[in-house]
Amino acid sequence: MKILLIEDEIKIADFVLPGLRHAGFEADHIADGVSGLDAIFEHRYDLVVLDVMLPRMSGFDVLTKVREQGNEVPIIMLTAKSELSDRMTAFERGVDDFLPKPFFVEELIARIKLLVGRKQSAAPQQLSYGQLQLDVVDRRAHWHGTSAVLSQREFSLLSYLIRSPGNIYSRQQILKHVWNIDFDPETNVVDVCIRRIRIKLSRGFSSDMNLIESIRGVGYRINVGELE
Angle between helices 33-42 and 59-68 (to 10 degrees): 30
Domains of the chain (ranges; CATH) run 2-115 (3.40.50.2300), 126-227 (1.10.10.10)
Which is it for strands 47-51 and 75-79: parallel, antiparallel or unpaired?
parallel
pLDDT above 80: residue 182:
no
pLDDT above 60: residue 124:
no
Q: How confident is the model at residue 32 (pLDDT cuts 50, 70, 90)?
A: very high
pLDDT value at residue 4: 96
pLDDT value at residue 15: 92
pLDDT above 50: residue 121:
no
Angstrom distance (rounded) from CA 148 to CA 174: 21
pTM above 0.75, yes or no: no
Q: What is the mean pLDDT of residues 212-222?
A: 88
Q: How confident is the model at residue 222 (pLDDT cuts 50, 70, 90)?
A: confident
pLDDT above 80: residue 24:
yes
pLDDT above 60: residue 122:
no
pLDDT above 50: residue 119:
no
The alpha carbon of residue 168 and the mean position of all alpha carbons in its chain are separated, in whole angstroms, by: 23
Angle at 137 (CA atoms; ends 178, 109), nearest 5 degrees:
65
Contact between 13 and 29 (Cβ < 8 Å): yes
DSSP state of 73: -
Q: Tell me which of 153 and 85 has the higher pLDDT.
A: 153
| Cα–Cα distances in angstroms (integers) from residue 27 to residues 6, 7, 35, 191, in the given order | 11, 12, 16, 35
Q: What is the mean pLDDT of residues 58-64?
A: 94
pLDDT above 50: residue 178:
yes
Q: Tell me which of 87 and 29 has the higher pLDDT.
A: 29
Annotate 166-216 with DSSP letters as a single string: T--EEHHHHIIIII--SS--S--HHHHHHHHHHHHH-TTS-TT--SEEEET
pLDDT value at residue 204: 53
Q: How many CB atoms are closer than 10 A to CB 138?
A: 11
Angstrom distance (rounded) from CA 171 to CA 143: 24
The alpha carbon of residue 6 and the mean position of all alpha carbons in its chain are separated, in whole angstroms, by: 18
Q: What is the mean pLDDT of residues 51-60?
A: 93
pLDDT above 90: residue 101:
no
DSSP state of 163: T
pLDDT above 90: residue 36:
yes
pLDDT value at residue 19: 94
